[in-house]
Structure 1
Amino acid sequence: MRAYFLDRIRVILTILVIAHHSAITYGASGQWFVRLSPGDTPAAFGLTVFAALAQAFVIGYFFLIAGYLTPVSYDRKGRAAYSRDRLLRLGVPILVFGLVIGPLTVAIAEARGFGGLSHWIALVTHPRFVVGPMWFVLALLVFSLAYIARRRFVPIRPRPRLPVPPRFTWFAAAFGVGLAALAIRWLAPRDIGIPGFEIGSLAASAFLFVAGCVGERHGWLERIKRRHALPWLVALAVGVPLFALVLMASRAHGVDLGSGFSFLSLFQAFWEPVAAWGVIAGSLWYAVLRWNMPDRRWTYLARQSYGVFILHPPVLVATALLMEPIPLPSPVKFLLLTVLGTTLSFVLAAAFRRIRLVRAVI
């Protein structure tokens, strides 16, 4: 049975990716191709809290969904066909973005607009591979190949369906993910020059992909109930304002996100999985109750979402630069850029998907 509720979730997550990058454009902490507002204003602080919350759950949620869809796709296609499909649908977009779309985005940002055509041609003819937000697709390709290897050497044996794990298991998982994220941020350089990439999120991403793979076998996503979601929603409601207070106090002492090991980085590492579990559990509970029915409009938009993810960087950067002369407060520009960037990206993705070869890939 098709999980129709995932269509709406995928579309909403895609819009939140665009909103996250729009927030960084106008002052939120994070890495993106262009930044047009200072990060030390009250408006930028609000956008930073929003961006931190989005960063905590959006990409991890995508990995959970990808993991959830992986076993049934592998079973239906078989190892060889599934492997070819992953290389086509993940590998080809990585190459196209890295060699064409990414350099175009850099050219627009560095040349401050579409006057960067000659700069783009120079970047393409002298290859400069730009990963950008496609780090998500690259990581998904690695996870998919790991799943293929696992199925090759460790066959799946039929087992009875297990209930959704108890609350303690998820709290232990959040603690483990927090420790892993803290270790990754401590051992690896935070700023590795990939716009849209936060290295500490790899821990939650890997865990949620595996949770999705396991959860599909037992129907966990469809079986999330109020009793599962409520504790995490309470933790989310308490955790977000608490994170804002910790961030405010840390900034008063000259410590910001990405400033190295500090109480803020320690708090962030454990706050992120708690926030992610809260959003994911709460939204799944609601979605299964209210959204698990066919809807052609949402199905259509969901089919465009992968293309939107791939195409939105140059659209967002170009739109932001075209809006730069307009004298509006940064929060208003953030909202306007999110709406325009979302609309234009969906229109562009739908247009490209009319091409048969493109539709076969995305």
Structure 2
Amino acid sequence: MSDPRLDLEALLGTQSRTYKTRQVTDDMVRRPIHVAIALWDQPWKSAKDQKIEGWVIAVDSKRARFVRRGRTTKGDVVERTIAELKNALKNLPGQAWIVTGRRQTLLRAVLEDRGYLVTGSFSEKNRAGKRAAMQRKKDDHAALREAKRTGERPENIQSTPVPTTPAFWWPQFSQSKAQVAEDELVRIATDASSDTVYKGAMCFVASTGDYQLHTQESKASTDELELESLTLALKYLHKIGARQAIIESDSVAALEAVDYILSGEKSDTRRNGSRNSREQNSRRRNPRARRWRGLSPASRSRFDQAWKNLHGHCEVEIRRVLGHAGDPLNQAADQIAYMGLRAIAHPLKQSRPTLKHGIDKALKKAASNAVESIES
């Protein structure tokens, strides 16, 4: 008896409670007040449970834009955050849409109990999200430095094991059959997905109908895998002999890495001459800016080599596209990468045909939406 085929919903994740908490609707986006809440914590010897916790509340409305921050050592970060939020919104007219971090289940539950409209993941459609994320990172790092300076950081920090699912297989799918004309502009969307524990997926989808999905054992961040996806796209362009192309990514960190990598190249090999000139001038003024961090040297080296191999053969522009904003190729790349990551945790015989079906479906939808976009 053959193994039952896996339902496509299992790879799309649309049956999970997590997926439903991350859905963004038009009603949310239209609300006059956008709020993003980010929490952080660091080990702290004298604090309750040996942990200092902090919050960042970014608010964006027509009347005002501001950020409220704070921290506590008493283990009451959710209560303090809710009180701060209530105070921040009391003089602003209209309804608010709030986004929180993906793992802030307790905070989201309390907000929903208080009647707030909440999405359990930062969305680029939320105007306050970027400021909250940036400030959270600054406050988190500042607390870490303070803990080391004041002796509050425990000497032995025990990490909590992250539960993982077994890897049954590592999906590898691709198609590169396109024959491109010399004057044809090839457009490519890249994306990646990672659990940051042991597995990652990289993907690109091209306007030619070609694509590649590559999964591997990896602890790398999604941003690093986004850079690896850009590298795969460059190799694809070289393979098909494209003469001009646009590659799009929704990862700010990956694009910043591209600027850093190309800052030492000649002006005609840069992704964007004016921007990279500004980057280079900034590094001359500030020596610390020359030390770019965030993605591994190996991933940057692979991109650099792929770029050099393509130089002189294809004119490439690498630019940003907003994620989850309706772009057909970006949506397809995002969905395929996510399905590939989830397929790893399911037996090959059950999930392989389902994944291939899901990929074909995503590609057909992207092609159809692209045609509709051109006609409209």
Asked if TM exceeds 0.5, the reply is: no
Greater RCO, CA 8 A, separation 6+ = 1
Structure label with greater radius of gyration: 2
Return the structure number with greater strand share.
Answer: 2
TM-score normalised by the chain length of structure 1: 0.29
Return the structure number with greater helix share.
Answer: 1
